[in-house]
Amino acid sequence: MIHPPLRFLSAVALVSLVSPLFYASAQTQVPPAPANAPSTPSAPAAEPSAPAPAAAPVLPKPNPADFTAATPTKETVEAFLQANWGYDDSRIWQVQGILKTPVDGLSKVILYVADKSGKEKPAGVAFFVLPGGKFLIAGDEVIPFGDHPFAENRATLQQRADGPYRGSADKKFELVEFADFQCPHCKEAQANMEKLATDFPNARFVFENYPLPQHSQAANAAAYGVCVAKQGGSTAFYAYASAVFDGQEGLASPDGAALTLNSAVTKAGLDPAKIETCAKDPATVSNVQASVKLAQDLNINQTPTLEVNGRAIPANYPYDILKKIIEYQEKLDGITQ
């Protein structure tokens, strides 16, 4: 039976979905289940005051009375969790309930999540699956849901991600980086991107501009990049991008930005005057805006974000975790090296 003492994870934990240690970090309380719904399973026993040998946790058996909603099915929830969390061998979970709500077609899903080592106390996750079963709500975030939660975003990217690319011309294994030239975290992520290009030679790496409004020179840097790619191709673009990220501090002022961008264009082997003229063309501005619109349509709200066949991952994640997730997504999509 569901009782309020169950310790719940924050919505941020569910939204990230990619951190193998998320349940050890930000945690908070959520409201108990509605009064007219079955109550939440009892929390695990309290941790002993003295350290005890770690052992795999034993999660309480789900109560059939806590599965009152017709959709989603338990199998669909399991498939969704396997797609998101299956890369992490240390994580275990259990679907504890799928409850009806007063809203027709809106269901509440309750899980237990723990790690196999037993070092972390099992915690709970609760989210709502929207009518139609294509999305879930966790906190104030809307996340794709279903047996194949990344498929729709993957198709969207294959159709609309038309930025400069390197690697394979084939789109069956596509890693799309959404970045802002003035974003410090995007600069940090470039080391990861270089390693990925080496470790996944069969992948197609696409760069999409996502200049954020708080960065005054980001849109201009993006426009320059569009023109460099147009006039010099992808090889020239990546030379330009590397130079801009290396000189990112120069983007702090208009004068500094002019020097930084012109220098980057020169390093890419092109004429700064021609690129500057091109960057002011309405068609170039529209190109940058289309890239931003693509990011917004994919519900990307931070940079740098890496879309791996439609699966969103922070591009500046620790490399070993990032690589592990990408390898897992390869297997899910049936891609072989």
* Sequential DSSP letters for 58-87: -PPPPPGGGB--SSS-HHHHHHHHHHHHTT
Residue 85's pLDDT is 95
Tell me the C-alpha distance between 301 and 282, whole Å.
25
Beta bridge partners of 98: 67, 109
What does the block give as tokens for 294? 């693509």
Tell me the C-alpha distance between 184 and 189, whole Å.
9
Residue 337's pLDDT is 62
CB 76 within 8 A of CB 46: no
Tell me the pairing of strands 135-138 and 123-129.
antiparallel
List pLDDT tens digits, range 133-151.
999 999 888 999 999 999 9
Residue 107's pLDDT is 98
CB 123 within 8 A of CB 114: yes
Outline where 111-162 has alpha helix (H): 151-160
DSSP state letter for 23: G
Tell me the C-alpha distance between 254 and 272, whole Å.
16
Residue 30's pLDDT is 28
- Determine the 3-state secondary structure of 129 from DSSP: strand
Residue 56's pLDDT is 77
Tell me the C-alpha distance between 257 and 253, whole Å.
6
Tell me the C-alpha distance between 282 and 48, whole Å.
66
List pLDDT tens digits, range 226-251.
999 999 999 999 999 999 999 999 99
Which residues touch 102 (CB under 8 Å, ≥6 apart)? 34, 36
Residue 16's pLDDT is 43
Which residues touch 150 (CB under 8 Å, ≥6 apart)? 83, 144, 309, 310, 311, 329
Residue 267's pLDDT is 98
Tell me the C-alpha distance between 269 and 183, whole Å.
25
Residue 54's pLDDT is 62
Residue 328 is inside which H or E element, if any?
helix 319-332
Residue 120's pLDDT is 80
Tell me the C-alpha distance between 314 and 193, whole Å.
11
| ∠ CA 179-182-184, rounded to 5° | 80
* Topology given in CATH for the domain delimited by 152-332: Glutaredoxin (3.40.30)
Residues of the chain with CATH 3.40.30.10: 152-332
Q: Which ranges of the chain have pLDDT less than 70?
A: 1-54, 337
Name the residue type at position 57. Answer: P
* Sequential DSSP letters for 213-255: TT-TTHHHHHHHHHHHHHHHHHHHHHHHHHHHHHTGGGGGSHH
What global pTM score does this model have?
A: 0.84
